[in-house]
Amino acid sequence: MHKRALGAAAVTGVAALALSACGGSSPTTPSDTGGAGTSKATSSGVPETPSGTAAPVRDANVDLVIWTDADRSKAVQKYADQFASENGVSVKVQIATDTRTQFKDATKVGKGPDVIVGAHDWLGELVQNSTVAPVNLSSDVAAKFLPNAIAATKFNGQSYGVPYAVENIGLMYNKDLVPNPPKTMDELVATGEKLVKEGKAKQVLSQFVSKVGNAYFAYPYLSAFPDGGIFATKDNGDYDPNKLLVNSAGSVKGGDILADLGKKKVLSTNVDDTNQDALFDTKKAPFMISGPWSVAKAKEAGINYGIAPLPSLTGGGAMKPFLGVQMFYVSSKAKNAALAQEFVTNYIPRKDVQLALFEVGKRPPALKEAYDEVSASDPDVKAWYEAGVDGKPMPNIPAMNSVWGPFGQATADIIAGKAGAKERLDAAAKEIAANIAKG
């Protein structure tokens, strides 16, 4: 009985989707790998696709095995081929449908890949299970990345990979209904309610709440207040699982806002992953709080959308979203550790590689130089980046697994008016602490 994958994906809802970066990004068809795959050592220029959802089977005859999701596979393959011909080795890129779980399970029995592509919040769990190896980037290379992206690759002060993209949620608005994005939540509600009254919209804001709540989307309401959030940080920058902020004074203020918005029907537990995008894309809601994964659908629906930072809340500051960082990990049980380290430390920090990965994912690149180039020509990327510029990386400590369920449910109950913010967040904090204590 292995439902871990289902659990992780379902509990974190869209957050998990977003972080595994398969959250509805458009089925891109990058140009063919061209002549890069002509090296004799490389057996093929196309990523190996899995049959069904089973984990890929490791090919024992190649010198480097990389697991990635389907979206990124073509871009990774191109540079894997280049790496292969440059070093006279063979590299195989394989598509894993659920990299997090499949990597952990395969590594346990000695059949795992050498390199995986994944989200930074897997890190604590991977370290806990001794599945990833430290990746020692030199300080001058590390300085070329966005500081938040580098911070996200660290756990207990050790660095475990090379980042390539950053993503976060922001405010999407329908330019046909709202010419200028609101700066504050009050302004957003006033504008939205006016549109609803005029019959131009049915719902003020579309935000994933659902009956069981969504911690990822509720967090920014808490982080808008000083000392509001989930975990406090230690001196070394790591989140401290023993210092919960879920029921701090700031968090409760954020909770009061959730309650108020719930009462006004701006937030509703009836909006969830199944209808969030549809509400915005059918012009029923002029505003949506979502991430880059929603853009393709809005474009397809012909919505004249704009992207703005999350609004600020009365009595607090701007809502600060969680940052999700995409990165390359090296397996601690890698059969080809030397080549794996070489590929990750020398190839992924390259601008052209980061740009290629941007093309397939459309998330702001983690390498400053690549971000600068992309943001100059792509206003969406710039807007997403700016929406997340004050955000903090999502906690990558294993204790975060204890937070998603209880914290999400608490916010859903507050929005539904089932309980007051203070008492409900107190109860959630108690439950989370008990879960963390279970280990």
By CB under 8 A, the residues from 68 to 127 that bind another protein are 87-89, 108, 124-125, 127
Candidates 38, 49, 53, 128: give the one binding another protein (CB under 8 A). 128
**CA 43 to chain CA mean position, Å:** 33
CB 251 within 8 A of CB 245: yes
Q: Which of residues 362-421 bind another protein (CB under 8 A)?
A: 398-402, 405-406, 409, 413, 416, 419
* Interaction pattern, residues 23-52, with another protein; x per rule: CB under 8 A: ------------------------------
Q: Which of residues 235-254 bind another protein (CB under 8 A)?
A: 241-242
Question: Among residues 70 and 419, whose Cβ is nearest to another protein?
Answer: 419
Q: What is the spatial distance between Cα 159 and Cα 433, in angstroms, rounded to a whole number?
A: 27
- Interaction between residue 301 and another protein (CB under 8 A): no
* Interaction pattern, residues 326-365, with another protein; x per rule: CB under 8 A: ------x-xxxxxxxxxxxxx-------------------
Candidates 53, 156, 180, 304: give the one binding another protein (CB under 8 A). 156
> Which of 323, 356, 11 lies closest to 169 in space, CA to CA?
323
> Closest approach of Cβ 381 to another protein, in Å?
30
237 Ramachandran zone, left/alpha/beta (phi>0; psi -120 to 50)? left
Question: Among residues 156 and 184, whose Cβ is nearest to another protein?
Answer: 156
Question: Among residues 9 and 318, whose Cβ is nearest to another protein?
Answer: 9
Q: Which of residues 264-283 bind another protein (CB under 8 A)?
A: 268-272, 274-275, 279
Q: What is the spatial distance between Cα 24 and Cα 278, in angstroms, rounded to a whole number?
A: 13
Stretch that binds another protein, among 66-74, 156-164, 253-261, 383-391 (CB under 8 A): 156-164
Q: What is the spatial distance between Cα 204 and Cα 225, in angstroms, rounded to a whole number?
A: 23
**Cβ atoms < 10 Å from Cβ of 313:** 25
Question: Among residues 44 and 130, whose Cβ is nearest to another protein?
Answer: 130
Both structure tokens of 15: 């957050």
Contacts 24+ apart (CB under 8 A), 243-250: 244/429, 244/432, 244/433, 246/222, 246/403, 246/407, 246/410, 246/425, 246/428, 246/429, 246/432, 247/422, 247/425, 247/426, 247/428, 247/429, 249/225, 250/222, 250/225, 250/226, 250/316
Question: Among residues 30 and 134, whose Cβ is nearest to another protein?
Answer: 134
> Closest approach of Cβ 23 to another protein, in Å?
16
